[in-house]
Amino acid sequence: MPPSRRRQDGLLARVNFPLYALQMLTSRHVLVAGGGGSSKTGVANGFEIFEITHNGKNFVAEEVIRHETGLSVVMNCATYNDSKRSYLVAGQESYCQLYSVKVSLRDVENCTNIKENKSEHDTEDIKNDLRKRRKSSDKKVETENHNQSRETKLKKRIWFTISPEDSVQTDNAETEPCQRVVRILQNGSVMVTGGTDGHVRIWSFPIMKLLLDIKAHNKELDDIDFSPINDNKLITIAKDGKANIWDYKTGKKVHTLNWNQPQGSKYLYKRCRYGKVDGDNKKCKLFTITNPTGRAGKQKAYLQMWEPESAELLKVASVDESLSALAVRDDGRFVAIGTMFSGSVSIYIAFSLQRVLHIPGAHSMFVTGLEFLPVCSSEQEPTITSKSEAAVISISVDNRICIHSLPYRTTMPIWVAILFIVITLLITFTTCGYLGL
């Protein structure tokens, strides 16, 4: 039986708006986004960046910066980060907003409780904002910082300055146009968007010039993902029940995923993700989650693994309730899913789809996003050292950011197993000799 832990690790942070989008900005920084929409409810719209660390016992999140987006809720986003540049693209109604992200190092004491607005992008404005927004809670933080050692005061922190750049309309539906999903190619040269009009649009990046417009589906898009092995492939899924693999350079459809659905039922794909095979840059697998439509009753949802080259269904794992979120770790070893009704999170071994961790009721509402902490990183961006074999961050419309870690699984060393077998045989032969058998 896989280990089952309620709220393993648990709450990382809580924000004051519903969360819909989640991205790892660096190996140590997570970006969450969402909001209350355009209605005057007092619920903010925007995104926040948190730095994730491990204190030897638990994961800890500390807010770095917050950026509000006015009346536009952020329903989806994607990030691109390399040694030269960092960008964020955010779906805000029918438009895709591009932000440049400038990374710098600052003293920890100068990065406390700063809230960034659209017009605040330089150092002087940030300092002024700090002075204006100082409250009693800030004074308490200052007192605590004052009591820390001089070495801690001089500690540097990565800081992000976010500036809005270009914006393009990515969905042209006649009624309620909305961008539903955006992805950036691994090398940062191409961006793809999908929305309620069923079109998949390929854009140059970061210039965001339209390269190709594909009428891919008859209903709104639910998810898109690029293949990580750089073979010009991407997958799209939509509410028309289809999952199609495309050559994004030519706009031609390569495959349609098909499987034998349980008799008398209909299923819709909900999310799709490519994943490398144990870190191999030349091999990948494709993962999808599917839910029964209508009144599900006792019908199960499924986590599926496909061979992307042949569109062959390889493995299936059943789940007792509808699914809402999917993530694959960057090395392809683990897959995570989030549920719709109970707000639960589970981690699976990718190659076997064996569940190794289940956290029931991780959130009080449905899970809207999952992201694994990266394991493949550079010397410039070291990964977080912890006592976990894998850790996944989850978000929900319950305003909570949680983390769930899989402890290293204990295995018996080979020499211990051999010794155990030898001792067992020795005892068996000795007992047989004593009994004269």
pLDDT of amino acid 419? 79
Domain that holds residue 115: 10-435
Does residue 3 belong to any structural domain of this protein? no
122-133 mean pLDDT = 40
Which structure tokens are listed for 185? 């190619």
397-412 mean pLDDT = 86
Does residue 212 belong to any structural domain of this protein? yes
Does residue 128 belong to any structural domain of this protein? yes
pLDDT tens per residue, range 181-233: 999 999 999 999 999 999 999 999 999 999 999 999 999 999 999 999 877 99
pLDDT tens per residue, range 47-65: 999 999 999 889 999 999 9
Sign of CA dihedral 228, 269, 319, 403: positive
Does residue 1 belong to any structural domain of this protein? no
DSSP 8-state class, residue 7? T
Query: Among 75-79, 179-183, 423-427, whose mean pLDDT is lowest?
Result: 423-427
The percentage of the chain sitting over the pLDDT mark of 90, rounded to a whole number, equals 65
What is the residue type of 331? Answer: D
Number of domains in the chain: 1
**Highest mean pLDDT pick, 121-130, 144-153, 253-262:** 253-262
pLDDT tens per residue, range 1-10: 343 333 347 8
- The per-residue pLDDT of the chain, averaged, comes to 85
Does residue 2 belong to any structural domain of this protein? no
Does residue 86 belong to any structural domain of this protein? yes
Distance CA 241, CA 287 (A): 16
Does residue 4 belong to any structural domain of this protein? no
Q: What is the pTM of this model?
A: 0.83
Please report, for residues 224, 299, 374, the alpha-carbon distance to residue 266 in angstroms, rounded to integers and kept in the order given. Answer: 21, 10, 35
Distance CA 191, CA 12 (A): 31
CATH of the domain at 213: 2.130.10.10
For 323-391, give the DSSP string.
EEEEEE-TTSSEEEEEESSS--EEEEETTTTEEEEEETTSSSS-EEEEEEPP----SSSPPPP-SEEEE
pLDDT tens per residue, range 302-334: 999 999 999 999 999 999 999 999 999 999 999
109 — pLDDT class (breaks 50, 70, 90)? low
β partners of residue 50: 30, 63
157-174 mean pLDDT = 93
CB atoms within 10 A of CB 167: 15
